Chain A
Amino acid sequence: MKIKFVDMAFKKATTIAALSVVALICLLVYSMALRSMPAIQKFGWHFLFTGTWDPVKEVFGALPFIYGTVVSSALALLIAVPVSIGIAVYLAELAPSYIKQPLSFLIELLAAIPSVVYGLWGIFALAPFLRGSIQPFLSKYFGFLPLFQGEFYGVGMLTAGIILSIMIIPTISSISREVFLAVPFTQREAALALGSTRWETIRLAVLGYARPGVLGAVILGLGRALGETMAVTMVIGNRPEISASLFAPSYTMASVIANEFTEATSNLYLSALIEVGLILFFVTLIVNIIARALVWRVSNKVKGELRE
């Protein structure tokens, strides 16, 4: 009797804990929507598709911030994913054990560095280096692309993308490594038995099998990149403009909120900033839904392949 009661109470307690997340998100969206009403009513859909951000004249449009957030995160993934998978494969499959431990430790240490430290390093070390060496190089050999044109400031979209990629590499690589380690040994043995080389074994047996898990790791990394505030704010140049060039300064949603929220005095200004927060929430949601759908498709495909 007593045991039954404890069981029930335990189930109730965990259910409440789980549901509280749902309630929290609903409450979050509700209060943000409520507080951003003045801006929503005033600007409507224009808020999403215009690029003027003028706190003095109280004209607000969030497009450059949305663009900046999406592009800087995409850039970060572009750099971080191949590197992280390389790290994870090396750690899981190739590294001798006396390297494995210290290297894993160092990578996890990277994740523990506060983002303001990344930002300071970005502005004082990375930005001057990019301006002095990398940007002139890119401009000289790839300057025919609009991506690499314009003046070298050091800070800008490229710098933000690189900082973000460094910040998400630990997340993606350590989760991917765990995923690779979880691949059953029979998979590798089967591939080796068929006469595969080391590379073929990894490609066929490990990478193929681990695809959904790696995608999951990438999503977690992307989540961090989308919401990262401090480090990005310090190196992106904070200019609400959409430019094809990666050298140009840009601005992200999280940055504008962090920059302007404390001194926003008028109601419309404040609600415009809260609406940016709401949009950031939905952008993150949409990106996550797309990514989940991708994982789901890939994992189904993997299951299908395994059945065949």
Chain B
Amino acid sequence: MSSRRAFALALGVCAGLVVLFLALPVVAIFVDSSPGALLESLGEEGALDALWLSLRCTAIAIAIVLVAGTPAAYLIATRSFRGRAAVITAIELPLVLPPAVAGIALLASLGPSGILGGAIESAGIRLSLATAGVVVALVFVSAPFYVRQAIAAFGAVDRTLLDASRTLGVSEARSFARVMIPAAAPGLAAGTALALGRALGEFGATLMFAGSFQGITQTVPLAIYDRFATDFDSALALSAVLVAVSAAILLAVKLLVRGEPLGGWGTR
């Protein structure tokens, strides 16, 4: 065998292994649970509550991330300032934090005995063991996925577009809304999809910071964990629902923009 063919074969084997390893567990969820059991699990006490809570909290969290994260990413992408690298690192850090660390960090900062806990409490806001706490946890873990991608997307927009718009006397605020956001849209959408997926699947930080209570703080991942030991079938079915919802959201975002976020030579 020539070394070229050997290399091609090695590539193929590795790609096959990667796809198999990543897809097998997900496929197993659907193979192990029948569509009947899936529907039945949704009728079970608490399952719909969990799904509704997950969707609600994720929607609110992503709205917050988009509204605050888009201008922040634009600023970081278009200006050069001292400490820019440090700022980017700070934004990216939650990406690599284990969920338990994220939970501890939230407790230490925003929890009742955390550094801002007193101020939050005197403002009459309750975060721990409350739905608002779930939203905070979701924002914390999902925002870096969006902001990081958004910085890259704004940074990749051709500068001359913005300059042309300025020459025509358009204010920067207007150019940001009319030129930059549309130009960066595919990247922003990709970031949104990642953040959505991360938020929907959030588990550890939510459990540690917000607790687990049906209808208040028990999101789908927590409900799955609660069922896992006593009722594996129902946990499996609920997992299948979560996979289906996440996949649907991912697909919808991709179709909406029609841009290929992970482009490659094959897609050109």
A binds B: no
B residues neighboring A (CB under 8 Å): none
